[in-house]
Structure 1
Amino acid sequence: MKDKTKSILIAISFIVALVLFVWGFNFLKGKSLLKNQFNFYALYDNSKGLQPGDIVTINGMQVGTVSSLDFHPRQDGSIIVEFITGNKLNIPQNTIANLASSLTGSVSIELILGDSDVMAQSGDTLMSAYDNGTMGLITETIIPLKNNLETLLISLNDLTSNLNDLLNSELKTNINNGVSSFANSMNNIETISSDLQQLVDSEDGKLTLVVNNLENITEDFSVVSDSLKKIDYNHLVITLEKSLTEFNTLLESINNGEGSAGLLVKEDSLYNNVNETVATLQALLEEIKANPKKIKLSVF
C-alpha cells in the first residue's frame, strides 16, 4: 500500500514538474497558458537580429512578444516570425508588421494598424515592412557625408599633387629669389627713409624759415585782401563811367571837326599847309648842306 502511494506521489510530482516546465518555457517565450492569445505571422527577408522574447508594440505600447523565428519551408532564405498578442485586441486585416531597430540596437515589431473593417484572425500572416529606425536615419545621414568627405579628400590629394608638380625646382628657386629681392627692397626702403629723416633733421632750420616766410606772405595777402575789401567799387565804377562818357564826347567833337584837333583831322587845307611848310624847311636844309658858304651871319 505504501509503495502504491509513493508511486502515485512520484507520478503527481512528475506531472506538476512537467507542467511547470512547459509553463516556464512558454513564459520565457512570451506565451501564457492561463489566458487566450492570438498568434500572428510575418514574413521577412532579413530578421535584423530579431530574437524570441522581443516586444511587439502598437504606438509605442507593448501588446505582445515574438515567440519564434524559422526559415520558410520553400527554402528561399526568407524567415517566418511568429508573435503573439492578447485576444482583446482588434487588429485589422491590412495591419503592417513593421520591423524596427532602436538607437541601442534592440529590434522590435511595431504593428501599424490598418483601416480595414475585417479583423485579422489568430494564425493569419500580416503584411511586413522594414523601418530603419534611429540607427537607420543616422546611417542614411552619415553614409552620404562619408562619401562626400572621401570625395573631398581625393580632390585635396589631387590638388596637393598638382601643386607639387607646379612647384618644380626652378619655380621654387624663382620664388626664393623673389622673396630675397623683396627683402632687399624693404631694406633699401628703410635706408631711404633713414636718409630722408636725416635730411629733414639737417634742413629743419631752413624749413622753419620757409614756413615763416609763407606765413608772412599769407599775412601780407590778408592785408591786401582787407585793403581791396575797403575800396568803394561803386564810386570807382561811377568815375570810370563818367571818364568814358567824357572821352566819347571828345571823340565825337573831333569827328565833327570841332576844335583844333577836329580841324586837323577834318580840314585838308591845314594838313596841306603843314606838309608844304615841312617840304620848304626840308629844301632849305638841303640847300644849306650843299652851299654852306652862301649863308652869311652877322652879329651886331
Structure 2
Amino acid sequence: MKISKEVKTGILVLSGIILFIFGFNYLKGKNLFESTDVYYTEFDYNALDASSPITVNGNNVGKIKDIVYDYETGKTRVSFSVNAALKFSKNSVIKMYETGLMGGNGLAILISTEGEQAKPGDVLPSEVEFGLVTTLSKSFSGISDNLDSTLKSTDTLMLSINRLVNDNSDAGLKRTIEELNQTLKSFKNTSNSVNAVISNNDKNITAILEKFKTISNDLAVLTADLKNANVGTTVESLNTTLNKLNTILESIDKGEGSIGKLLKDEGLYNNLEGATKEMEELLRDIKLHPKRYFRVLSKKEIPYQKEDTK
C-alpha cells in the first residue's frame, strides 16, 4: 500500500512533537516513563520548599510537587509524589525533620503496614520532629533567665565588697556586713533556683548530651570516610565534567547541534508551525471525507474536491 505524502507529513510532524516533549522533560529531570503516585499531608506551618527530599529509611523515593496554604483550615497542604512501587497503609505518618545543623527540612515516610492500604490522592497524618538546635534553645531558655538573676546578685555582692574596702568607719563596716549578709542570702536563693531548674530539666539535659554523643560519633565516622576517600580524584573528575557541560551549553547558545538549532533557529519554529497547520487541515479533511483516504476499501477512485468554505 502506497502511503500518501500527506500521511507521511502527518507522521513526521507527530514524531517531532513527541520527541520535543520527551526531550524537554528530560532536560528538566522528569522521566515520563516512570510511574508515580501523588499523596497529600498537612502541617500547621511551612518549613519546606520544592527541593526538600522525600525519604524512606534515608533513601530518596520521591519529590514535592506543590505547597499550598489552605485558607479554610489555616494549614499548609503539601502534595508529593513517590514511586508507584512503594506500598504503605493509611496509618503511615509523614514526618517533617531537619536535614542538618545548618538548616533545611525534609519529609520522611514512616511506613506502616497495618490497616487499609493508602491510595493515590489520600491525605496522610503528619508530625514534626524538632532538631538539636531547637531542642537546645527550648531547654536552656529557663536556665538563661535564672543565670541573669545570678549575675545581678553577683554584681550586688561586688558593690558591697567595694564599699567595705572604701569605708573604714565602724558604722560603714557594720552597714557593709549587713548588706553582705543580705547579698549572700539573695545569692543562696538564686543558687537554689538554679539547682531547681537544673533538676527539672535533668531529663532534657541528658537527652541533649546523648544527641551530642551520637552526632560526635557520626562526625568521627564521616571524617574517617573523607580521609579514606580519594577526594582529589573526585574533584578533578567533577571539574572535567563541568568543563564538558560548559562546552555543551556554549554550543547550544551558539545554535550548534540539534538542541541549539531547536532553540535558536526561527526558521525551524516557523516550519513546525506551518507543519502543524497542515496537520490540522489534513485531520479536518479526513474527518469530512474519510473515503478519500481509504481507497483500498473502494475500487472506484474518488477525486479530490476542495472543501467549500462558504
Give TM-score, length-normalised by structure 1: 0.46
Larger radius of gyration: 1
Q: Relative CO higher for 1 or 2, CA cutoff 8 Å, sep ≥ 6?
A: 2
Give TM-score, length-normalised by structure 2: 0.45
